Amino acid sequence: MILVTGATGTVGRPLVRALRARGAAVRALVRDADSAPAEWDDGVEPVVADLNDAGSLAAAADGVAAVHLLTPVGPDAARQARKVLDAAAEAGRPKVVLQAAIGVRRRTTPVRFFDAHTAAFDQLEGSGLPWTVLAPNGFLQNFLGLLPALRTGTLALPAGDAAVSYVDARDVAEVAAAVLTTDGHEGAVHEVTGPEALTHHEIARQFGGVLGRDVAYRATTPEQARAALLGSGVPAWQADGLVELHGLYATGAASAVTDTVPRLLGRPARSLATFLTDHAALLPSGPDTPQENR
């Protein structure tokens, strides 16, 4: 039995799907019994728990052989990860697969979103639990949240002109499923990227091709980006984190392409072109986050 935290999210949904495709029994953590997706079959046992509630996590982790630890982006994430790892340690000796991010080991360019991952990594290393860390680059799915602006012909980010090897979150999920269900990954940090590093100019051009219009990338300053995010209602903690993250991208530190997806899955990583093809019917005017492609 594999406990999946974040089971209803961008990574978690395709992860549950991928684990079922591998025949694994899944205990899927949900905050609310009604949020269990209709696609979950009898091999998925929803368990109602909250990452802020240690008691519910102890019950969720009871008897599992492996834990997929994913925390949402937010200021509570480090505390939440600690609670999950404490529950895992109490539950026995399950294998833990930590869903982190690139930069989990590099502390030179601070990005607050990564702090929880670094803290969880530190705790894991001292825990005696068998662990593997997945360190994915930014998700292509993030661009779905920018569709309203892309449809008006603009991609404005404080990411400079460096290339980024964005990864499809479905590949991250399928790598996680492979690591959770096979041996030989203990103590490994797998950096998970797409098959190519693209500048945001090129990303804008490819979105334009699907949207049927020119889309231009404009590199904004951190101050412009922060003001725009705050103006659109993004909380200050998250706005500052997004500016930090794109500042990291601007240094070129997120441009390396790794072989993790082909090595673990035996096929190429999904490209931006594939991502756009898979979402093509929905991009011009459809819903911003198509559930079936998450």
> CB-wise, 66 or 242, nearer to ligand NAP?
242
> CB-wise, 11 or 150, nearer to ligand NAP?
11
14 binds ligand NAP (CB under 6 A): no
Alpha-carbon distances, residue 254 vs 197, 204, 237 (angstroms):
8, 18, 22
In this chain, which of 31, 105, 201, 205 binds ligand NAP, going by CB under 6 A? 31
In this chain, which of 46, 136, 194, 241 binds ligand NAP, going by CB under 6 A? 136
> At its nearest, how many Å lie between ligand NAP and the CB of residue 175?
12
12 binds ligand NAP (CB under 6 A): yes
Token look-up 């804008």 returns 204
Please count the residues of this chain forming the interface with ligand NAP, following the rule CB under 6 A: 24
60 binds ligand NAP (CB under 6 A): no
> At its nearest, how many Å lie between ligand NAP and the CB of residue 153?
23
202 binds ligand NAP (CB under 6 A): no
> Over the chain, what HEC string results?
CEEECCCCCCCHHHHHHHHHHCCCCEEEEECCHHHCCCCCCCCEEEEECCCCCHHHHHHHHCCCCEEEECCCCCCCHHHHHHHHHHHHHHHCCCEEEEECCCCCCCCCCCCHHHHHHHHHHHHHHCCCCCEEEEEECCEHHHHHHHHHHHHCCEEEECCCCCEECCECHHHHHHHHHHHHHCCCCCCCEEEECCCCCEEHHHHHHHHHHHHCCCCEEEECCHHHHHHHHHHCCCCHHHHHHHHHHHHHHHCCCCCCCCCHHHHHHCCCCCCHHHHHHHHCCCCCCCCCCCHHHC
Q: Please, what is the angle between helix 112-125 and helix 236-250, to 10°?
A: 80
Stretch that binds ligand NAP, among 19-27, 133-141, 150-158, 273-281 (CB under 6 A): 133-141
Residues 77-116 that bind ligand NAP (CB under 6 A): 99, 101, 113
In this chain, which of 43, 55, 63, 72 binds ligand NAP, going by CB under 6 A? 72
In this chain, which of 2, 4, 11, 198 binds ligand NAP, going by CB under 6 A? 11
Residue 203 and residue 139: Cα distance in Å, rounded? 13
71 binds ligand NAP (CB under 6 A): yes
Stretch that binds ligand NAP, among 67-75, 181-189, 249-257, 274-282 (CB under 6 A): 67-75
> CB-wise, 101 or 269, nearer to ligand NAP?
101
> CB-wise, 71 or 118, nearer to ligand NAP?
71
Stretch that binds ligand NAP, among 4-12, 206-214, 225-233, 270-278 (CB under 6 A): 4-12
Q: What are the φ/ψ torsions at residue 93 (nearest 5 degrees)?
A: -135, 55
In this chain, which of 35, 182, 221, 291 binds ligand NAP, going by CB under 6 A? 35
Contacting residues toward ligand NAP, per CB under 6 A? 6-12, 29, 31, 35, 50-52, 70-73, 99, 101, 113, 136, 138-139, 142
